[in-house]
Amino acid sequence: MRILFIGDVVGKPGRQAVAALVPALRRERDLDLVIANGENSAHGAGFTQTTVTELLESGVDVLTSGDHTWDQKEAYQVIDRERRLIRPLNMAPNVPGRGSTIVNVGDRFSVGVLNLMGRVYMPANDCPFRAGEAEVNRLRQKTNIIFVDMHAEATSEKIALSRFLDGKVSAVVGTHTHVQTADEQILPNGTAYLSDAGMTGPHDSVLGRDVEAVVRRFVTGMPQKLEVATGKVELCGVIIEVDELSGKARKIERLRIPHHTSA
């Protein structure tokens, strides 16, 4: 089984890259499942029904999110309606939505997708280790193939979680920093790991936002309207090959693919 995970999709440029590149990737790389982090898909912060629908219709099977989950006012309704969209499991109890989902892949296999959020330099939430372990144990009653999006700032926290879950899940891939790392590996007990999948969107930017506005904010300390940047766009992500029976990873490959657009 081959799973593509797409790093944080930022605004319209990111959505355009997904629409343009994912259908061909599915064919050319023989992909069985496509997962994307969509928490920045609407104007660079949050998601809307329109952006969720657009990404799903572009060939994405499951959308994860993170600390920007509630940035758009319609998020509460969207996340309750759309079961292919999940938010971090370890948010406060009783918030809308769900923290994991199980997706059928053909007639023979199913994949559990789990979204967690870190606590270091992040908004307050419950322990991702305890919450993640309990949910993984529940998901493993239904499938051995489990993918984890760990949305976190601190690399150490991401690595620690991957070691904590090594052998219990197929992959742990980090999101949130928008900068792709080069530490892809398969851990000793068969879990694929990458600290951050990177960003799908405008790379001639500061984490997807207009360079001049961000620089002014740092230099002056004054509030700035941080528009989504334009120009050079790339799709960043990772393909993970998983043994369908054991759920262990066989191979992990980073992707960074240019997409030419001026929008």
Written as six digits, the tokens of 202 are 């405008």
The conformation of residue 61, written as its DSSP 8-state character, comes to: -
Would you call 99 exposed, middle or buried from its count of C-beta atoms within 10 A (0-12, 13-18, 19+)?
buried
Q: Which of 68, 151, 176, 203 is catalytic?
A: 68
Q: Cα(32)–Cα(105) distance, rounded to whole angstroms? A: 7
**Rounded CA separation 54/9 (Å):** 12
Helix (H, G, I), strand (E, B) or coil at 42: coil
- In which residue are the tokens 């319609």 written? 74
Is residue 203 among the annotated active site residues? no
Give the alpha-carbon dihedral of 154, 160, 164, 170, to 10 degrees. Answer: 70
State the catalytic residues. 68
